[in-house]
Structure 1
Amino acid sequence: MTNLFTSDLKVINVGLDAFADSIIQNGGNATKVAWRPPALGDTNTGRALATLINNEEVDAANRIALSRYLAANPVLKGVGKAANSVPGMGERTLLHAGPPISWEEMGGPMKGAIIGAVIYEGWTETEKAASEMASSGEITFSPCHHHSAVGPMSGIISPSMPVWIVENTEHGNKSYSNFNEGLGKVLRYGANSPEVILRLKWIEETLATVCRAALQNIGELELKPLIGQALHMGDECHNRNVASTALLIKKLLPSIIKT
């Protein structure tokens, strides 16, 4: 005989919260599961997604992608100016994170970062003028990934910004990323006050110059061993980069002193 009705009720609720609320209000124990129908209930899209499961073509493509990822050998080659290094970087181009998006559809932090980048570039002097320029069509907005580039958070890369140049020596492709601004008020979160612009100028004129000279002395720097060591030291090489930053500085410091 079942003891369902004689033991404490423990329910996993999939669906409307109201079902779980009723159980909890009557002394029961209910765990709410945040579940939604596949493709938000769209039948055609759901069926299309289902065809990707155990699909040999998809699985084969994933195996190729994973093998290339594991075989990749990222090497830091140098520091360059975005306008001269990033493919397709036009004179009035701003790269951003995420898929293609218009000025009108951008969120507040990305718009703030765009405004800051416009002022940093010297295209305008005020936030109002920068906003008007951004909405006028004078600026080309393009995703970082369309240019073999990556940028943190809002991902804004402007023509004058210095970028790290990394080459995958296994397959010959290159990628580019702007410098990390550090903590506090930063462009990547949408801040665009004078202190933010001043820091960006310092990165461009001082920090990048020193790093460029140091790398020229070293020649190049393999990143895979550095990443592996940083992971063992507690970094996940995304949000926490304390160890990887320290390891990079350790590699560059002898050359920095010489410069």
Structure 2
Amino acid sequence: MSSLLDAPPRVITVGAGLLDEALRAQAVPTTPVAWRPPLPGTAEDLARVLADPRRHEANEWAVARLVSARPHLVGVRRASEVLGPGVFLHAGPPITWERASGPMRGALIGAMLLEDLAADEHDAADRLAAGAVALRPCHEQATVGPMAGVVSPSMWLFEVRDDEHGGTAYCSLNEGLGKVLRYGAYGPEVLERLRWMDGVLGPALAGALERTGPIDLRWLMAQALQMGDELHNRNRAATSLLLRELAPAVVEAAPSDAAAVLRFIHGNDHFFLNAGMAAAKAATDAARDVPGSSLVVAMARNGTDFGIQVSGLGGRWFTGPAGVPDGLYLGSYGPADANPDIGDSTITETSGVGGFAMAASPAIVRFVGGEVADAVRATRSMYEITLAEHPAFQIPGLGFRGTPVGIDVTLVARTGLLPVVNTGIAGRVAGTGQVGAGLVEPPVEAFTSALRALAEAIK
């Protein structure tokens, strides 16, 4: 005891920032330890799940499959070849017409008009309310869709195959910016563009990929991260790399339409996003259905609910209310104009890019708000709730450290940290389009209810 009193004090501060600052102001050296209490009400479930003897090995197996996936773009197919008759896909967990938000309703109306299933918007709304078509989540059909995520038979899909584990995933083609179906617009210019994509863009890309053969998306995404993309809200480098791969083959496959096709891709920095989403879906699907695993394999929003799926719990959705993103707004728009969070594009964060890779993309802060240091802090914090670092997706600014990947429900509960998601913001009113971009927190309920289900599943 005397030696302890004679020596200089050694102070460890745990979760007490104010105390740490006060001691440092008095020139007392401290060792701060980041600590947060677990999420309220989770202690019993958390203890039960952590004690599950299957958990460690199950998570190692699941995350190893996720990071070893090798998604390749192998084709572009018309959705009618993938969908069943009388089915429309949508983003997020299951939703009914009655609970659908403005952008979701607008996109569904637009799809009805595109497919000539209604005379006008009012007829389309009436038919949708009466159940004229079945609404199914994209995730239930190995598909993902940005924003409203609506897919109808005459749309074309990127087809991505995981060469390591054999899975296949799909995503619609990106329409570009402005008035677009995914933000709930369905005016004549929207339908005209979609019909051009059906008649020209889809066939041209399909023909091009027959000539190029499979394109390694894992390699392309790794390169894009080195070039300043984070692969959710910034895809400029990835789109450029994909255009380089496709351009000669597009000219060969569709010489009369090549200029229009290449100009369309060149004018849309987000064109790669949809291919990247399908790649992320293929990778996370490889980690599904591992008994005892607490790994999150899907996060998705439908504009009303935010839902997650967990490897060890099959296809069950665990949901909470979708929040309104906090960020930068375009023009005169503000938070009152914003729809709650929407889209399947959070599959990017689920696979270790997007918000989890913001440290690789300093320019992203000009789009979603904040400072470069905030982007670095966001990425660093995600290492606390993930099971691995991605071996291929590396961040130059962090010494080429792999991106944090493999969200673990138990780590979310233990730390109280929620996944970082950056996102576009859709207007509440159908047809408004994008009103901003920012960051959004998933609802705590989605993770606590999944943790409870994991605890209940232990025999």
Residue 252 of structure 1 and its aligned partner are, at CA, apart by 0.6
The whole-number CA distance in structure 2 between the counterparts of 1:212 and 1:107 is: 33
- Are the aligned partners of 2:74 and 2:161 in contact in 1 as well (CA < 8 Å)? yes
1:129 pairs with 2:126 = no
**What is the one-letter code of the residue matched to 1:189?**
Y
1:255 pairs with 2:249 = yes
Q: 1:165 aligns with which of 142, 159, 170?
A: 159
Could you say which residue in structure 1 is the equivalent of 2:171?
A: 177
- Identity percentage over the alignment? 43
1:154 pairs with 2:145 = no
Could you say which residue in structure 1 is the equivalent of 2:293?
A: none
Residue 58 of structure 1 and its aligned partner are, at CA, apart by 3.2
Q: 1:221 aligns with which of 215, 221, 226?
A: 215
Residue 191 of structure 1 and its aligned partner are, at CA, apart by 1.0
Could you say which residue in structure 2 is the equivalent of 1:63?
A: 60
Bigger-Rg structure (1/2): 1
Could you say which residue in structure 1 is the equivalent of 2:48?
A: 51
The whole-number CA distance in structure 1 between the counterparts of 2:54 and 2:150 is: 35
Residue 71 of structure 1 and its aligned partner are, at CA, apart by 0.9
Q: 1:75 aligns with which of 69, 72, 76?
A: 72
**What is the one-letter code of the residue matched to 1:129?**
D
Which string of whole-angstrom CA distances, capped at 9 and with x for unpartnered residues, describes residues 55-96 of structure 1? Answer: 543333322221011110101111111110x2xx22211101
Residue 207 of structure 1 and its aligned partner are, at CA, apart by 1.1
**What is the one-letter code of the residue matched to 2:70?**
N
Residue 215 of structure 1 and its aligned partner are, at CA, apart by 0.6
Secondary structure class of the residue paired with 1:165? strand
Could you say which residue in structure 1 is the equivalent of 2:295?
A: none
Could you say which residue in structure 1 is the equivalent of 2:85?
A: 91
Q: 1:37 to 1:109 in 2, by over 3 A?
A: farther
Could you say which residue in structure 1 is the equivalent of 2:188?
A: 194
The whole-number CA distance in structure 2 between the counterparts of 1:72 and 1:161 is: 27
The whole-number CA distance in structure 1 between the counterparts of 2:158 and 2:18 is: 53
Secondary structure class of the residue paired with 2:54? helix
Could you say which residue in structure 1 is the equivalent of 2:236?
A: 242
Secondary structure class of the residue paired with 1:254? helix
Residue 234 of structure 1 and its aligned partner are, at CA, apart by 1.0
- Structure 2 portions without partners, runs of 5+: 1-16, 20-35, 254-459
**What is the one-letter code of the residue matched to 1:77?**
V
**What is the one-letter code of the residue matched to 2:218?**
K
- Are the aligned partners of 2:78 and 2:202 in contact in 1 as well (CA < 8 Å)? no
- Are the aligned partners of 2:157 and 2:172 in contact in 1 as well (CA < 8 Å)? yes
Residue 220 of structure 1 and its aligned partner are, at CA, apart by 1.6
Q: TM-score, normalised by structure 2?
A: 0.46
Aligned residues: 221
Secondary structure class of the residue paired with 1:94? strand
1:119 pairs with 2:113 = yes
The whole-number CA distance in structure 1 between the counterparts of 2:117 and 2:62 is: 41
Could you say which residue in structure 1 is the equivalent of 2:410?
A: none
Q: 1:114 to 1:49 in 2, by over 3 A?
A: farther
Supply the RMSD in Å over aligned alpha carbons.
2.1
Q: 2:199 aligns with which of 199, 205, 212?
A: 205
Q: 1:124 to 1:231 in 2, by over 3 A?
A: same
The whole-number CA distance in structure 2 between the counterparts of 1:108 and 1:57 is: 43
Q: TM-score, normalised by structure 1?
A: 0.79
